[in-house]
Amino acid sequence: MHNFQYQANAANVIFGSGTIHRLPSELKRLGLHSPLLLSTSQQVSQAEHIKAALKSQVAGIFAGAVMHTPVEVTGEAIKAARASGCDSLISIGGGSTIGLGKAISFRTGLYHLAIPTTYAGSEATPILGETEHGRKTTRSDSKILPGTIIYDVDLTMTLPASMSTVSGINAIAHAVDALQARNGNPIVSLMAQQGIKALVQSLPIIHQDPSNHDARSKALYGAWLCGMCLGSVGMSLHHKLCHTLGGSFNLPHAETHAIILPHALAYNAPEITGVMAILDALLPSDDGDAIQGFNQLLERLEIKRDLKSFGFQEGDIAKAADIACINPYWNPRQVEKPLIQELLRRAWAGEQAKADLQTSCPGGP
């Protein structure tokens, strides 16, 4: 076995069904009395539900969270937090809300308790992605990680099947990137494999039967494991492309991850044969190939495959490739701009992913 280093993330995790009822006792344990509740404008009802559970003993509600955590929104939220006199933050929702909670907590030192209602996985990582002047950047720091995470399967039961599936593929993307990370290790590899397995098994069930509680529980568990993976090792091409498309072109987070994942994996496939062997076993397909396994899973889940459906223009492909190739994340295969441009064209058009991108492709060097 090769040498490795592993550092566990130290959040207090409460997982199960009905666990939201443990929120008052958790705040009491922490000596906190006046949290500011965070949500998006579309999910303010969930914040109101938390307020009722805490018998209105909250500092207030800030319902301005949006995708990709713009720094100007964070600034507004910090002003609201200071004006409210809160002693902590409770974020309830998906990656947008939890990302905002992380941004505020990192800048103010306020304790952050996260309650995820999707499979985004942001709550389990010490990573903060923020957008400023049309660019999305990330930073990693142990202070970014929420102090407590409450996973309540019951809160995911009303998540629409279509959002559940793309959110789940987003979670899988975290684990796939972790498997090929330069600083990967056996512990993260085990978590990644278990997380992928749980989601690959549960998402088709949720697609057909969104009220299946066992499938919801397995998906939430898998999403937690995948988030733990992302928070433990580095990111590569997949996340760089998604950060580019989200931060610079405002494409929706989960949908973009779902579309890009098989294409980024296909790009790296020639250089990660060991990882591909692992994924081949986890993603059954007609020919036993993981890339086709992902193609077929997305088709089975009826997930849109083309970026153009979400407003990405063909004329922006070259610009996106330029941005993605500036300060690229470490990647197991050299990042070549002409090939990245072709990858993005395929994702724009909704073509199936194929591991045939070579330097001799049209437009290549």
Both 115 and 207 in one domain: the answer is: no
Both 152 and 167 in one domain: the answer is: no
Provide the pLDDT for residue 359.
Answer: 65
Provide the pLDDT for residue 5.
Answer: 81
| Residue 213 maps to a domain | yes
CA 336 remoteness from chain centre: 25
Both 58 and 173 in one domain: the answer is: no
The answer, yes or no, to whether residue 267 has pLDDT greater than 90, is: yes
Looking at the 3D structure of the chain, how many domains does it have? 2
Both 144 and 181 in one domain: the answer is: no
Q: 62 - beta bridge partners?
A: 38
Both 195 and 337 in one domain: the answer is: yes
Write out pLDDT tens, residues 215-230. 999 999 999 999 999 8
Under a CB-based contact definition with an 8 Å cutoff, are residues 169 and 254 in contact?
Answer: yes
Provide the pLDDT for residue 176.
Answer: 97
| Residue 108 maps to a domain | yes
Write out pLDDT tens, residues 269-294. 999 999 999 999 999 887 879 999 99
Cα 137 from Cα 85, distance rounded (Å)? 30
Both 253 and 272 in one domain: the answer is: yes
Cα 171 from Cα 307, distance rounded (Å)? 19
| Residue 358 maps to a domain | no
Cα 268 from Cα 241, distance rounded (Å)? 13
Both 254 and 117 in one domain: the answer is: no
Report the length, in residues, of the chain.
Answer: 365
CATH of the domain at 140: 3.40.50.1970
Write out pLDDT tens, residues 17-61. 999 999 999 999 999 999 999 999 999 999 999 999 998 899 999
Both 63 and 188 in one domain: the answer is: no
Between vectors from CA 247 to CA 242 and to CA 249, what angle results, nearest 5°? 90
Both 244 and 140 in one domain: the answer is: no
Both 152 and 229 in one domain: the answer is: no
Both 222 and 341 in one domain: the answer is: yes
- Give the SS3 label for residue 164: helix
329: domain range? 161-349
The mean pLDDT of the chain is: 94
Both 327 and 295 in one domain: the answer is: yes
Under a CB-based contact definition with an 8 Å cutoff, are residues 363 and 343 in contact?
Answer: no
